[in-house]
Structure formats: structure tokens, C-alpha cells
A and B are shown apart, each in its own frame.
Chain A
Amino acid sequence: MEGIFTVNGREHTISFDPQATLLTLLRDNSFTEVKEGCREGECGACLVLLEGRLVNSCQVFAATAAGKKITTVRGIGTLHAPHPIQEAFAESGAVQCGFCTPGMVLASYWLLEQNPDPSDEEIKQALDGNLCRCTGYAKIIDAVRIAAGRNGSNA
């Protein structure tokens, strides 16, 4: 079947299998910044924003995402014009292997959109669907704190 997917602001007409997940569709169509870690909705590496909402793309049927807006980590900032959250991650030592990072960045972005001045507990809750084995999360939480501070709230 076919559908129009608006990814990071650009429309793409894509053919896909009816049973395909949004994750497979994205990765098969050059959006490899969306990672596959478990295919079960348990690790958070595949997070995207679907109509602005944080979701596990491996748990979304592509067919139900057709006609909708999808944002990947490249949609919130680029290498040449990174988002403050991406800068904060790079600066805090929150990026080790980087495989969980796109998901973590999006989860942080979603948190700060709704709650610009989160407590540590709120940060930890917002990231509860993102597994990381490299960092022990300490510096990821630092990065979100810093990003929240840079957005103008109490540092």
C-alpha cells in the first residue's frame, strides 16, 4: 500500500507492506537515525514524534501513521544547526555509544515542550522508556537539566 508521510517537514510518498511498522518504513527509506534496539517497545531507541507525540515507532503500524507528521531526531536539530538539547547532550558527556541518543534527545525534547522546568524526578520519569547501558543515565540527566536551564528557566 502507499501513503504520504511528512517526515521532518517534508512529504514523502512511500510504498509499504500493510503489516510494516513505522520503524521499518522509516529505516527502509533513509531515516536511519531512528534506531532499532529490540522491536518490542522496550528500549526506546526507535522513538519519534508522531503528530508531536512521543511514541515507539516499532509499536506503530505504518498504515496508521500515513498522512501524519513525523519528527525524528534530525527534525529538531542538525549537525550544522543543533538544537540546544543536542548541544547539551554533546557537552555533558551524555553521549557515549550514541545508540540510545536519538531516542533520549526526543524524549527530552518532548518533556521540555510540556514542562520547561522539570524536577529531577520528572526528568527521570520522562526518560523511563529509554534504556541506556553505557552512561548509567547520570550525565543524560545532567544534559536535560542544562537544556532546561538554557531554555530560560531557573538553572
Chain B
Amino acid sequence: MTWYKPKQIEEVPLLLDREGVKPHGGGTWILRGSLKNTRGLIDLGHLPLGFFRAGKSYIEIGPCLTYAETVHKIEQVDRGHVLVKALRHAASTPLRNRITVGGTISAFPAWSDLVGPLMALDTEVSLIGRNEGTYPVEEYVGTSSLRKNSLITSVRIRNEKWISFYHREIRTRFDYPAFTVTILMKKAGQTVKDIRAVVVGSSGKYRRLDRTEESIRGHRTDDLIMEEIAGLDEIRFTRKKGLDPDYTGHLFRVVLERGLESAAGG
């Protein structure tokens, strides 16, 4: 297996086109799998990919920024930001020093703490390589061809203030969630001006709860009746981690209800 240590971003696309060569930003995903078919790894550590730029309209995150660094930087922008809530307890303290934003997006495991909030934030990712361009994160994670021979060079979210709620369904503190729920809300007085809701870990790996969002948008927060909220019955779960699908489904509804209450009261 060969290590490539490019000093310039421009060197990367050519390396990505080689058979069996993968980019490595220091995260744990590659070590999780077998290295048998890996011919080469591109050490991204010498490239300027660990940046964080908070502008008036956008926040740009470099793909090699670790979870710990991301939490630290975003906290300075907004202490209650959903990414702070989602990443602060993800994995474990030492792992948060290695797991990268870009690595997680490109791997997108069903237990991810990062991708749900990014979807709720309408995140865009920029790529170089075969699929050079900028894509909504949902499109990127949903299209396997986009992930081939390409590298994420930037992750962009709007710099907006949302009321946020984040839940990870775990057994012990250092655990990989059975599912996560992200809720973002903007209120105008007592009315829900805008809402985003994403579940990750359900059947089909994730769902943007757009029907749910629709049925809540514009309503008063003291008028939210769980039974009338749409789109929840479509959310299914498979049997995993010893949990029966009907229990997990019930759990999801409870979490969502509590999340909406929390966001509505926030």
C-alpha cells in the first residue's frame, strides 16, 4: 500500500483517479474496514483543509476539521448551535479529536451524529476530482457516483440563528446512536416561522421530515397536537441493536414530541 502526501490540492484529483486509492483525513472510517483492496491512501494532513471561516452569511468548514475543533469553533459563533449539540458528545473525547467532518459526510454511516444536522441546515458540499462542483449534502449522500474519485474540499452552511433540538438514541454515553433526531425552528412570536426536521437511522438510512415540517410551519406553538402532525407514520425502523421496530418507532415519536416541545418553548 502506498502513501501519497500531496502538498497542493491540485495534486489530489489525479491521485483520486487511481484504482484503489482513497483520501484519508485522519478519521477512523478507513481503519474500520479491511485494507485488503486499498492500494493507496492520500494523507490530506499537509493540505489546507482544516479551515473554519465564519462570515456574515455563511460558515465554511474544511473537510479535515475534527469534531472537537468544529465544536470549539462553532461555539464561538453560537453556543446553542445544533452542531455543538450534535457533536459535543458524539463518539468519545479522543475520537472527537480524529473524526473529521468530510470523512463522516463521505462515509455517512447510519449512526452518524453529523449528517442529520447538516441536512437540516441545507448544507452544501464542494468537490474536486471527477465530480467537481457544489452539491446539496442530501444529493451528495444520496448519489453514490458523486462519491467516487472525488474529494470534499468545503462544507458550507448558512450562518443563521435557529432554535435547535438534537437527540441521539444511545444505551451508554459512548455509543453509536440507533437513530438521531434534529429539529430546527424559527419563531415569530408564538408562530412557527420555519422548521426543519431530520431523522437519521430509520429505514432507508435517513428521512427529511418534509411533510412533518409542512404540517407545523405557520402554526402556533401552543397549537401543536401530536396526533395531527403529518408524515410520522412513514418513518419506519428495522430491527437493530436488539430493538424491535415497533418500539423504536414509538421511541421516535416520543423523541420528536419532546423535541418539538423543547424547540417550541425555546
Contact = CB atoms under 8 A, between A and B. Distances in A.
A and B form one complex: yes
Interface of A: 1, 18-19, 21, 41-42, 44, 47, 53-56, 58-61, 63-64, 107, 110, 125-129
Residue from the set A55, A58, A110 with the largest chain B CB neighbour count within 10 Å: A55
Contacts of A55: 94, 97-98
Chain A interface secondary structure, helix, strand, loop or mixed?
A: mixed
A53 B95 CA distance: 11
A63 B24 CA distance: 11
Interface in B128-178: 173-174
Nearest to A17: B1
A95 B86 CA distance: 33
Interface string B27-50: 010010001000001010100000
B93 interface: yes
Contact of B95 (A1, A56, A61): A56
Contacts of B3: 1, 18, 63
Contacts of B92: 41, 44, 128-129
A107 B2 contact: no
B28 A64 contact: no
B13 interface: no
A17 B83 CA distance: 37
B97 A41 contact: no
B95 A60 contact: no
B94 A107 contact: yes
A11 to B, nearest CB: 19
Contact of A18 (B1, B28, B98, B173): B1
A47 B94 contact: yes
Shortest 3 CB-CB distances between A and B: which pairs? A129-B92, A18-B1, A129-B94
